[in-house]
Amino acid sequence: MSSTLSTKHFLGAPASSDGPARIGSLHSSSTLPSRSLHLPARRSQSKRLEIHASGNTFGTYFRVTTFGESHGGGVGCVIDGCPPRLPLSEADMQLDLDRRRPGQSRITTPRKETDTCKIASGIADGVTTGSPIKVEVPNTDQRGNDYSEMSLAYRPSHADATYDFKYGVRSVQGGGRSSARETIGRVAAGAVAKKILKQYAGTEILAYVSQAHQVVLPENLVDHETVTLDQIESNIVRCPNPEYAEKMIAAIDAVRVKGDSVGGVVTCIVRNVPRGLGSPVFDKLEAELAKAAMSLPATKGFEFGSGFAGTFMTGSEHNDEFYMDEDGRIRTKTNRSGGIQGGISNGEIINMRIAFKPTSTISRRQNTVTRDKHGTELIARGRHDPCVVPRAVPMVEAMVALVLVDQLMAQYAQCMLFPINPALQEPLELSKNEQAQKSL
Amino acid sequence: MSSTLSTKHFLGAPASSDGPARIGSLHSSSTLPSRSLHLPARRSQSKRLEIHASGNTFGTYFRVTTFGESHGGGVGCVIDGCPPRLPLSEADMQLDLDRRRPGQSRITTPRKETDTCKIASGIADGVTTGSPIKVEVPNTDQRGNDYSEMSLAYRPSHADATYDFKYGVRSVQGGGRSSARETIGRVAAGAVAKKILKQYAGTEILAYVSQAHQVVLPENLVDHETVTLDQIESNIVRCPNPEYAEKMIAAIDAVRVKGDSVGGVVTCIVRNVPRGLGSPVFDKLEAELAKAAMSLPATKGFEFGSGFAGTFMTGSEHNDEFYMDEDGRIRTKTNRSGGIQGGISNGEIINMRIAFKPTSTISRRQNTVTRDKHGTELIARGRHDPCVVPRAVPMVEAMVALVLVDQLMAQYAQCMLFPINPALQEPLELSKNEQAQKSL
Amino acid sequence: MSSTLSTKHFLGAPASSDGPARIGSLHSSSTLPSRSLHLPARRSQSKRLEIHASGNTFGTYFRVTTFGESHGGGVGCVIDGCPPRLPLSEADMQLDLDRRRPGQSRITTPRKETDTCKIASGIADGVTTGSPIKVEVPNTDQRGNDYSEMSLAYRPSHADATYDFKYGVRSVQGGGRSSARETIGRVAAGAVAKKILKQYAGTEILAYVSQAHQVVLPENLVDHETVTLDQIESNIVRCPNPEYAEKMIAAIDAVRVKGDSVGGVVTCIVRNVPRGLGSPVFDKLEAELAKAAMSLPATKGFEFGSGFAGTFMTGSEHNDEFYMDEDGRIRTKTNRSGGIQGGISNGEIINMRIAFKPTSTISRRQNTVTRDKHGTELIARGRHDPCVVPRAVPMVEAMVALVLVDQLMAQYAQCMLFPINPALQEPLELSKNEQAQKSL
Amino acid sequence: MSSTLSTKHFLGAPASSDGPARIGSLHSSSTLPSRSLHLPARRSQSKRLEIHASGNTFGTYFRVTTFGESHGGGVGCVIDGCPPRLPLSEADMQLDLDRRRPGQSRITTPRKETDTCKIASGIADGVTTGSPIKVEVPNTDQRGNDYSEMSLAYRPSHADATYDFKYGVRSVQGGGRSSARETIGRVAAGAVAKKILKQYAGTEILAYVSQAHQVVLPENLVDHETVTLDQIESNIVRCPNPEYAEKMIAAIDAVRVKGDSVGGVVTCIVRNVPRGLGSPVFDKLEAELAKAAMSLPATKGFEFGSGFAGTFMTGSEHNDEFYMDEDGRIRTKTNRSGGIQGGISNGEIINMRIAFKPTSTISRRQNTVTRDKHGTELIARGRHDPCVVPRAVPMVEAMVALVLVDQLMAQYAQCMLFPINPALQEPLELSKNEQAQKSL
């Protein structure tokens, strides 16, 4: 996927030093320096470069539209359909935005943005009003150089070429191009969704890095019943196991100094999820989660429960037997179902893994073609994330939260008009006592 | 996931022969026969058992609503938004329905259904009219026994329990429960979508089994540029490599005779896909494909392009360099992007892999609880698919086709009102000449 | 609008004897000149004639898809998203279907259909399961003649021509054409919606005929606080005032015997509507009601509250002042707002009026053109509704109910997750005591 | 409807001096009894007053989300799904925004806003990029006083009370309340839609005032074939007939000086509309237009074609006979169908009429209740529109344009993948020659 967490800046030198990239002879197969397309360094980029506004809407009941571009006022989102009377302030969002922002550590892009959010509408006297909530994050790391050269070369594994194919207009200027900065709106909206879920049912959504390049965290080293946000946030790679965190950081550092990048995997779990979320056919809960996760930039795969590994098992090994727990609740002894059966949550921990490719922006020479169909070479220089997964952690949490709150509202609309059937159902929300107990 | 390709029939005997399952003492850990819940065999099931109608809608432009149940008139779908003037008949759908139907080989469920479809509306004089197309498949393998006992025990890793949690009413009778039979409507609609794509742009969608239990087909043994439907259909497991097909069949046979089941993986490719399908933010093409695939029963994971394996690579290894091909088209040398960059198709082959868990229905004794919260044992007997992947092949193709035709129509709505920009875009449709050439 | 309640049968002769429309002597009891296109009478029509399946979906939360055609198995609907655990049976729907069916009186079409419905899925043990509810009504008044001649002439003010313009295929056969029979599915689904609203909040939806041709029922003759279904159903035109009912029936009879038709107006009121339904911007409650009503065949206008008459007033005459009633509720002294302010219901009676044009099918000679663009004359013969409004009454009620239940579910999804604010809000549902009181 | 074009400012005094509504001497020039609630005049309002952000989305293919509030940065819209490569600039929108803005004449509110728009994203090099287009209009007429008193009294026929009923939080501050200012985003988006329709098919959408209070423009005084924008814009009330324009202005002036308001009617026509737009069942073109129009503030009714008057006719009087015109096109001799038959456009002029109630804000003493349920009197003072229809003209055009472009894109998606059938269909777009001819 072309839209990565990198800052997507390229360094090169123009074909001649006195003007914008003159590329020399067409279709030249030579390897002369003059054939190499040198793009200006990031610091000196033009305002036109970063116009990649791309808005769109996610969700049916809790609808999030992200908007914005890197060069103008800023980025953000509009949340439509939020429940009224929910206490909410910028602080609720800032925590996750800080986990997402660039420049937070040496293994993320050094680009500096504070990503300070402002709620522009939808809140009065500290509570939501039921009106659309508009959240804005101003841009502070503006750049001021002409970037027209960049538009000439299609960056490998980015969206440059496909945007042109689709829209027939240049994407770099004026929009279209997906940027990691677009995910700010998702993270802000996700924070609202998380707060609703937490307040409603004590639901906790936690993601962490379980693989960076070839460092794979063994599954049994993290207890999904007890892992905490603090453990995850205790190191810059967001792996709750300190030993493997160090290994991962070392692996990222190793490629970072070479100007290369690596991929990784984010694991996400949900505890205290209400039973009964999701629906049985096309809109299965796992299908919604897969779409949500795979809509993040740079994703390559999604699995939940036993995942791809489960395909190697037999049914008798794989099935989750039911039993009654001490509290008289129907539970499963194992959780290869990943908390979802028949498209509907069963109350067990939902777990999933999302694969992220290595960042497409690298400081290495690459062959490519220009927009007008000539071969060229490209060397990006500047700032990019050597590995996207540490910053992807809050993005994954946000998308999962958006799916769950949407499904919770769907469940309310369809199934809560009339009293529940206590013989078969439990209340969706936990009492305060239960929440307290569960969080012990 | 609880909705499997199995026929979901259980054999047992009531706790006492003179009445519906009396299960004896609560939470008893004993292994006495009387505690075991014997359910009636499939042949003798009641009509009420198989009422698991579940309709829902997929797609925005090309909208498919599936309906139906196993016990009544039949199952099928309504396709809304189909282009008019498309030649279409039942034969177009029957091919794929035959690939999906039970009883087609010894490694599928022995249940007998011919699954003969009938187009009930939307066609006149052999072409589509633009009105909704209703496709129906009558049920022929009716069953006639009382199944009320079954409703007592939650089958492990099925949807029985979660339906109760969600809806608060019993799902076995009267609906709700997802059945593999629901996918008939998907396959029928997918056949229409395939025909549109084929006729419009020469697009070909082909899926095959790339793993069954622990038999993994090496990637390099199938050439995605040339693999054909005939090769895939040359054996009952739908693996285009005859040697590995035999190994897979043997693996499935091995568990089949034990009453157990195994999982597997389906690979799907798309050739001649128009460039420019998909969109850049939430509705990325890979996100739509992931949702579509993961909405099939028994799925556990989805990956495309380099997938989870790509996370182990560096950016310099992973990036797909661009070049100009002989026809003056912009192409990529490698295809780790899986035909999709920035959420939008780039014209290269789209490839994806979908994980399917082992069938939940097995003829083994399992512990579970009853609906009224008592522990019990359960032995299913009867007919089920020992491995779902051979029959899942046409289902995957159908869901992929539904996504692509929806995106093609979306592209038409947004980007085709005015003439394309030939400097950046190619026509979406192939000329007849090009189609002929490409199919050589 | 072209889709009327008529039976749409025509008699005529081709414009010229040498054209493609040579029909011969079929049923030609007339002595018309050869330029007149003689179409066979209804009794002897072919099966191909009445294939006008047209499915589509209404609603966001409570989604109704209608399907079906007059020639095949029948017509009906699929209701997706219905709350589970609602007692429901065919009898709940049959009452309204009987009010809708043809042949119910001398002022409706004499076509005979019993329109007996059957619930095919979504119900178990007498309650809804949360799964899609499929309702089917078989066709009993089949016809058996070749209708290909009819396809030659565009019937004035019908949909024949516009279907051809849109789809480029012939609509009479194979679908496309909207038929009054399509509204069966709406009425069946509306009956479910009515039941939910009644059970949830004691909401009552009542429509009646307030104008037939030039007979206009004075507004002050019906008390919207007390009018009952029995009063409305006490006569065949469905006007609750007996004196005006007689006048209306006489007016309809007067045109009926001449083979002509007349228009009219249906008034609809809603009592005990929960406060707070609707939303403030695009999806205002009146906007949703307008769309719902105007989607019925033959409608020409919609107004609510003071309506078009209100445009002649001043603000000081028109505003509804607030006061506190005896029960401590905020009420309005007048109701020119029609129960809706700012797009949201205020708890007062919602009232609206819907205009229906005269039935397009008439037994009079009319000029028109054939499909292949030749002038011709057309005489329809057979059975049609001389005035659609008596049968439109239950259709209007159904569409209003669908809007309100959809909005109730929307309100639940967004605003009912957390406890209401009793200082500003009242419970949406009435207690049983209140319902009893209100219904006194 | 409560959301009017007024500026919504009130003067009053609390119901009792010892209650929560102690306001002191602010602007209290009146000598009203202590039960009258004196609210501060508009000039001195607080920033908190005007936070009535309300965003929402209209359209399926061409999706418009409006956002914004009067107190913050401004208002505007996000347009998602716009075709790429359309030349577009702020000037395209400013024309209609100027027709909508307050302070444009003595018969509109004297509030001053220039409503200068800025396109913040989605445009590059003067053409649309296919990315979301964000349009912003800054607020310039800020106000700076405390408005908390106003929150005490429910203004008659406004949305104050219903917002409280729905959301349970105060709507004046922080959002929720629909404001006429919200329609800025609609008008801006409508201008884009108009441009697409004009460029695509020469389609022209023109609205004008056909009634103001009791001055009714006779139908035969405007020729819908030839009426021009210049004629409509030749006077401040936007009536194309100069004589009646003067009468209307006089009627509005008469109530304006008394602090009262009047209602009126806007007529809208569409010329050169492509044939085949709309669909046959729930989404009939007239149903979509009705919803669009009725979603505007202060609307009370909608009719098209023969409208309510058509109900007084017989079928033989009402039907539109077909004939072949000189260009070999199928036309209707009369147009009581209003350009729509069976839910689908037939190419004739679409005409419709929309009723607007008298502005709710008046400078007259009115009885009402406070939020805490005490009776009070209310006198609004300040600036409001004495009649909304002159400013509603561009709003109606905008909503009609949004419906038509959405339907055009729908038609493209479904019916234009394959070549049209020239025997039945005409190209949707006019050739340049035809456009030139038609505009002569």
Residues of A whose CB is below 8 A from B260: 314-316
pLDDT of residue B20: 32
Q: What is the pLDDT of residues C174-190, one digit of tens each?
A: 334 457 888 999 999 99
Against a cut of 0.95, is the pTM above it? no
What is the tens place of the pLDDT at every residue in D84-112? 999 999 999 999 999 999 889 888 888 77
Inter-chain residue contact B341 with A168, CB threshold 8 Å? no
Name every residue whose Cβ is closer than 8 Å to that of residue A119 and which is 6 or more positions away in sequence. Answer: A88, A89, A90, A93, A133, A134, A135
Residues of B with CB under 8 A from a CB of D: 60-61, 81-86, 130-131, 196, 199-200, 280, 408-410, 412-418, 421
What pLDDT, on a 0 to 100 scale, did the predictor assign at position A50? 24
Average pLDDT over residues C220-224: 96
Predicted confidence at residue D10, as pLDDT, reads 30
How high does pLDDT run on average in chain B? 82
Q: What percentage of chain C exceeds 90 in pLDDT? A: 57
The rounded radius of gyration (Å) of the Cα atoms in chain A is 23
Divide the 440 residues of chain B into consecutive groups of 10 and give the mean pLDDT of each group. 31 31 30 35 28 59 81 79 94 96 87 87 87 85 49 85 88 54 94 97 97 97 97 98 98 95 98 94 95 97 98 97 94 98 96 97 91 87 84 98 96 90 85 61
Q: How deeply is B90 buried, as exposed, middle or buried, from its count of CB atoms within 10 A (0-12, 13-18, 19+)?
A: middle
- pLDDT digit string, tens, across residues D350-390: 999 999 999 998 988 999 999 889 999 988 666 789 999 99
User: pLDDT tens-digit profile of B3-18?
Assistant: 323 333 333 323 333 3
* Residue D123: per-residue pLDDT: 86
pLDDT at A145: 41
* Of residues A356 and A25, more confidently modeled: A356
Alpha-carbon distance of A30 to A33, in angstroms, equals 9
How does the average pLDDT of chain C come out, rounded? 82
Q: What is the pLDDT of residue D322?
A: 97
d(CA B418, CA A203): 49
Q: How far apart (Å, rounded) are the C-alpha atoms in residues C322 and D162?
A: 12
Query: C139-157: b or e for each residue (b if 16 or more CB lie within 10 Å)?
Result: bebebebebbbbbbbbbbb
Residue D177: its chain C contacts at CB < 8 A? 280, 342
d(CA B104, CA B110): 8
Predicted confidence band of residue D122 (pLDDT cuts 50, 70, 90):
confident
For chain C, what's the residue count? 440
Widest pairwise Cα distance in chain A: 80
Report the pLDDT value the prediction gives residue A191, as an integer from 0 to 100.
98
Burial B45-66 (b: 16+ CB within 10 A, else e): bbbbbbbbbbbbbbbbbbbbbb
- Please report the number of interchain residue pairs, chain A to chain C, with beta-carbon separation below 8 angstroms: 62
Distance separating alpha carbons of residues B130 and D321, to the nearest angstrom: 26
Residue of B200, B409, B416 with shortest CB distance to D414 = B409
Q: What are chain C's partners, defined as 3 or more CB pairs within 8 angstroms?
A: A, B, D
Name which of A329-343, B254-268, D121-135 the model is least confident about. D121-135
Q: C63 CA to chain A: closest CA distance, Å?
A: 11
At B114, list the tokens. Answer: 């011919």
**D200 Cα to chain C: minimum distance (Å):** 17
Lowest mean pLDDT among A106-115, A378-387, B349-358, D413-422: A378-387
What residues have CB less than 8 Å from C216, skipping those under 6 apart? C210, C265
- Position C37 scores a pLDDT of 41
Judged by CB atoms closer than 8 Å, whether chains meet at D80 and A68 is answered as no
Cβ–Cβ below 8 Å for B343 and A163: no
| Mean pLDDT of chain D, nearest integer | 82
**Predicted confidence (pLDDT) at residue A143 exceeds the cutoff of 60:** no
Task: Quote the pLDDT of residue D65.
Answer: 87
C372 pLDDT more than 60:
yes
Can you tell me the distance from the alpha carbon of B70 to that of A344, in angstroms, rounded to the nearest whole number?
Answer: 21
CA nearest to C72, candidates C173, C191, C185, C186: C173
User: What pLDDT is attached to residue C48?
Assistant: 27
What letters, b where the CB count within 10 A reaches 16 and e where it falls short, cover B148-182? bbbbbbbbbbbbbbbbbbbbbbbbbbbbbbbbbbb
- Residues of chain D in contact with residue B81, where contact means CB-CB under 8 angstroms, are 413-414
For residue D20, give the 3-state DSSP assignment: coil
What is the per-residue pLDDT across C41-70, written as a single tens digit (0 to 9) for each? 333 222 222 222 233 789 988 999 887 666
Please indicate whether, in this complex, the C-beta atoms of D169 and A56 are within 8 angstroms of each other: no
Q: Is the dihedral of CA A88, A90, A91, A95 positive or negative?
A: positive
pLDDT digits (tens, 9 = 90+) for B215-273: 999 999 999 999 999 999 999 999 999 999 999 999 999 999 999 999 999 999 999 99
Q: What are the tokens at A51?
A: 């116009």
Query: What is the distance in angstroms between the Cα of D371 and the nearest Cα belonging to chain B?
Result: 39
The tokens describing D141, both together, are 């007429």
How far, in Å, are A318, B99, B150, D42, D415 from residue B7 at the CA level? 18, 17, 14, 71, 40
Ordered alpha helix ranges (H), B273-423: 285-294, 315-318, 389-415
**D362 touches D259 (CB < 8 A):** yes
Distance (Å) from the alpha carbon of D45 to chain C's nearest alpha carbon: 22
Contact B14, B147 (CB under 8 A): no
Contact at CB, A213 and B182, closer than 8 angstroms: no
| pLDDT value at residue B7 | 31
Closest CA to D410 of D278, D316, D282: D278
In the structure, what pLDDT confidence band is assigned to residue D198 with cuts at 50, 70 and 90? very high
The letter for the amino acid at B157 is: S
CB atoms within 10 A of CB A403: 27
Cβ-contact B193, B96 below 8 angstroms:
no
**Nearest residue of C to residue B177 by CA position?**
C131
Q: Measured in Å, how far apart are chain A's first and last C-alpha atoms?
A: 41
Picking from C16, C157, C173 by the largest number of D CB atoms within 10 A of its own CB, the best residue to mutate is C157
Rounded alpha-carbon distances, angstroms, from residue A62 to A21, B244, B291, B294: 46, 47, 19, 22
pLDDT category at A2 given cuts 50, 70, 90 is very low
CA distance A375 to A35: 9
Residues of C in Cβ contact (< 8 Å) with D170: 424
pLDDT at C200: 94
List b or e across C250-265, with b for residues whose CB sees 16 or more CB atoms inside 10 angstroms.
Answer: ebbeebbeebbbbbbb
The residue behind tokens 């809790």 is: A62
User: What pLDDT is stored for residue A286 in this prediction?
Assistant: 97
Which residues neighbour D340 within 8 Å (Cβ) at sequence distance 6 or greater?
A: C1, C162, D278, D284, D285, D286, D304, D305, D346, D350
Q: Would you call C408 helix, strand, or coil by DSSP?
A: helix
- Lookup result for tokens 């097909």: B245
CB contact (8 A) between residue A157 and residue B320: yes
Give the tens place of pLDDT for each residue, A36-79. 443 333 332 222 222 222 337 899 889 998 877 665 567 888 89
Dump pLDDT digits (tens) for A402-434.
999 999 999 999 998 888 888 889 888 766 666
Q: How many CB atoms lie under 10 A from the CB of residue A321? A: 18
With bands split at pLDDT 50, 70 and 90, how would you rate the model's confidence at C419?
confident
> Do residues A427 and A329 make contact, with C-beta atoms less than 8 angstroms apart?
no
A6, pLDDT greater than 80: no
Residues contacting D273, CB < 8 A, separation 6+: D201, D203, D339, D345, D347, D349, D350, D404
Q: DSSP string spanning B29-75?
A: ----GGGEEEPPPGGG--TTTT-----EEE-SSSEEEEEE-SSSSEE
Residue that the structure tokens 């006083």 belong to: D145
Which chains have 3+ CB pairs within 8 A of D?
Answer: A, B, C
Q: What is the pLDDT of residues A88-137, one digit of tens each?
A: 999 999 999 999 998 898 888 887 788 999 998 888 889 998 888 889 89
What DSSP letter does each residue of C28-40 carry, written as one string? ------TTEE-PP
The three-class DSSP label of residue A316 is helix
How far is CA D213 from each of CA C341, D3, D104, D110, D210, rounded to the nearest angstrom?
Answer: 21, 19, 20, 20, 10
Q: What is the DSSP letter of A87?
A: B
**Cα(C126)–Cα(A225) distance, rounded to whole angstroms?**
41
pLDDT at B146: 39
